[in-house]
Amino acid sequence: MAHEGFIRRLGYPPAAIAMAPGRVNIIGEHTDYNAGLCLPMALTQATAAAASPREDDELRIWSLDIDRHASIALSDVAPGKPRGWSGYVAGTLWALREAGFPVGGMEIVIASEVPVGAGLSSSAAIEGAVAVAATALFGLGLLDDDAGRRVLALACRRAENEIVGAPTGGLDQTASLLARAGHALRLDFRDDSVAHVPFDLAGHEILVIDTRAHHSLADGQYGKRRTECEEAARLLGVESLREVSPAEVEALTDPVLRRRARHVVSENARVEAAVAALERHDLHELGLLMTASHHSLRVDYEVSCAELDVACTAALSVGALGARMTGGGFGGSAIALIETAARVATEAAVRRAFAQHGFGEPNLFVATPGPGARVLA
């Protein structure tokens, strides 16, 4: 798609095509910006960037998915500029240049298989594809090992934080750049370590339920949760909530801050338990942890919504081992850990529940742990 789209627009083939995947977070939500733990895996669905270098400093960007074009000189990129979708692309190249890499003007055509705005991280996928395309075109040599890929992930994150202005942690970008097929990633945002955990579900699978709901309060609420966590850490006299024990959380007198902190601290413990459960192939335990994570996000962190709750309840009602929202919340996607043989029944139960509640049709698919960002040609 990106390849043909590039030729159609520019009349010659791209010099490189790069791909970066979306992700689902299996467990460990709203922990990345709290120096905590997460366990994402990359999807096989990815965003492609077909690209060629230009002689000048100009970025010309097309997205086939939203049928839009934008152009800006790389030297004009700054916080809030360009606005909107092209900020993710231009911001990534800006961040690479800021980090000292010789990135110049480019023609870029984007085409994605990752649903946009569904909590499956189309934003990290578009950033990652552009970062990898720049690596290929300008010979940056950042794809050969995890260390180089971390440099790319950081540039992607800076684009989102500083140019787009979304205060997200590094989970999505790290997952998209560093994932390996057949593996989940245990990410520790205290020491920035990454462990590749074999993800073998033996007769089971992760069903993704994209609710197609997006509640507009999402954007402000994300920043608000971040600020609440920082405030809780400050009151407890620690650098981050990672330093806090479950008992210490209960010392917070503000009931809202106490619940926020309780989610973060308990979620970190659930990630550790989930990694251990995966290592001993205890999928029942993994499922229970996922469901407990959803409960914590719904009650203590208050980032779920009716569509996500109905999706999880419906999956559990027909025997899912566990189910939880994934991503930032307030809409987007849920995941259910199910027996492969139960797929048809689970899909039917979710669709029926959505119809009964008057929600729109959800988008359902099975997530397979795919590879991280890469160059295709």
Residues with catalytic annotation?
172
Determine phi and psi for 367, rounding to 5 degrees: -90, 125
Q: What would the x/- binding string for ligand ADP be over residues 321 to 340, using CB under 6 A?
A: ------x-------------
Q: How far is the CB of 352 from ligand ADP (least distance, A)?
A: 26
Q: Give whole-number Cα distances, 161 to 124, 142, 241, 301, in Å.
A: 12, 21, 21, 22
Q: Determine, following the binding rule CB under 6 A, whether residue 88 of this chain makes contact with ligand ADP.
A: yes
Phi, psi angles (nearest 5°) of residue 43: -85, 165
Cα separation, 60 vs 46, in Å, equals 21
46, 49, 90, 120: residue in contact with ligand ADP (rule CB under 6 A): 120
Least spacing, CB of residue 64 vs ligand ADP, in Å: 8
Residue 116 or 345: which CB sits closer to ligand ADP? Answer: 116
Q: Of 126 and 275, which has the nearer Cβ to ligand ADP?
A: 126
Instruction: For ligand ADP, give the closer residue by CB, 116 or 269.
Output: 116
Binder to ligand ADP among 119, 287, 331, 372 (CB under 6 A)? 119
Hey, what's the torsion of the CAs at 313, 314, 318, 323, to 10 degrees? Answer: -50
Of 23 and 259, CB closest to ligand ADP: 23
Minimum distance between the CB of residue 22 and Mg ion, rounded to whole angstroms? 9
Q: Which of 34, 63, 135, 173 binds ligand ADP (CB under 6 A)?
A: 63
Number of residues that bind ligand ADP (CB under 6 A): 19
Closest to 354 in 3D by CA, of 298, 295, 314, 305: 314
Angle at 333 between CA 154 and CA 110, to 5 degrees: 50
From 50-58, 118-126, 141-149, 309-317, span contacting Mg ion (CB under 5 A): 118-126
Measure CA of the first residue to CA of the last residue in the chain; give whole Å.
14
Which among 104-112, 115-123, 286-294, 362-370 is the span making contact with Mg ion, rule CB under 5 A? Answer: 115-123
Does position 47 interact with ligand ADP (CB under 6 A)? The reply is: yes
CB of 322 to Mg ion, least distance (A): 24
C-alpha 56/C-alpha 106 separation (Å) is 8
276's contact among ligand ADP, Mg ion, none, with CB below 5 to 8 A by partner kind, is none
> What number of other Cβ atoms are within 10 A of residue 254's Cβ?
13
Q: Shortest Cβ distance from residue 40 to ligand ADP (Å)?
A: 12
- Helical (H) or strand (E) element with 62: strand 58-63
Could you tell me the two tokens for 276? 């251990």
Cα–Cα distance for residue pair 179/41, rounded to 1 Å: 7
Residue 120 contact partner, candidates ligand ADP, Mg ion, none, CB within 5 to 8 A by sort of partner: ligand ADP
* Nearest partner of 372 among 129, 178, 193, judged by Cα: 178
Q: Does 123 bind Mg ion (CB under 5 A)?
A: yes
Element (DSSP H or E) covering residue 228: helix 218-235
Query: How many Å apart are CA 236 and CA 246, to the nearest integer?
Result: 12
Closest CA to 325 of 308, 342, 341, 348: 308
Which residue among 112, 135, 293, 296 contacts ligand ADP (CB under 6 A)? 112
Task: Choose among ligand ADP, Mg ion, none what residue 326 binds, the Cβ cut-off being 5 to 8 Å by kind.
Answer: none
C-alpha span between 241 and 251 (Å, rounded): 13
By beta-carbon proximity to ligand ADP, the closer residue of 13 and 84 is: 84
Position 66 contacts ligand ADP (CB under 6 A): yes
| Positions in the binding site for Mg ion (CB under 5 A) | 121, 123
